Structure 1
Amino acid sequence: MTPGYGFGTPLGTPGTALPPFPFPTNPKQMVRSKFFYWAQRKEEMFAESLKRLKSDVIRANALTREANMISRELGNSRRQTTYDVTLQIPAANLRPSKIKVHFGLFRSSPFFLPCNVE
């Protein structure tokens, strides 16, 4: 008779209750893997935030073009207002060492800047 016959064990797992992956023998290895996970998470959040910021800037530029067109149509010849877009980044967010996320976004955003042209 074959030992263990009739007892279904999943393929690829040992007969013991150990998990299928090895435990780190070195505590530094565990810290290193946590760091790599943190770095990967930071890169993913950065890429997602850049995509969102890019779409916000494109939308702000489109709104600015529309505002400038309306300003030209409605404005008198003596004084005309034009609009520009700039990017506001708080000084506290210029340090790359920490993850600073506000609801999954950068804390920088496009800002409309009216300029009076005489």
Structure 2
Amino acid sequence: MSEETSQDIVHRYVAELLQHAQSALWPERRAALQSFREGIDRSDRGDVEAALDGLGVELRNEDDGAEVLFRIVLTVYLTQLDDSEITNPDQAALFLWSLDEHHIERAEMWFQAHPEHPQTVA
């Protein structure tokens, strides 16, 4: 029996998030992802670095491993969710955190078109 890799764990977690997301609104999705981020922040630094190493990600000294891991999971999540249109500030804020330039561009365009919503990432 083969051992589960960090990449397998990320994809399994994203699949669980996607299953939950099918019936969730963007504020609920954002809350679930924020909860996940808080969990990563509470994780042992060595575990986070091991997960990133398992994904083939090398950290620079100034990198925050928890943030990098969160952004990897978020990018996979948003890509698999495949919402073609950004419709609200919660969704746009999440797209800003993605590592995918296309996601970031779409979020920035949404915020430019909706100045009543300040561009925030929390």
Name the TM tier (shorter chain): under 0.3
Larger radius of gyration: 1
Greater fraction of residues in helix: 2
TM-score, normalization: structure 1?
Answer: 0.25
Alignment TM-score, normalising by the size of structure 2: 0.25
User: More strand by proportion, 1 or 2?
Assistant: 1
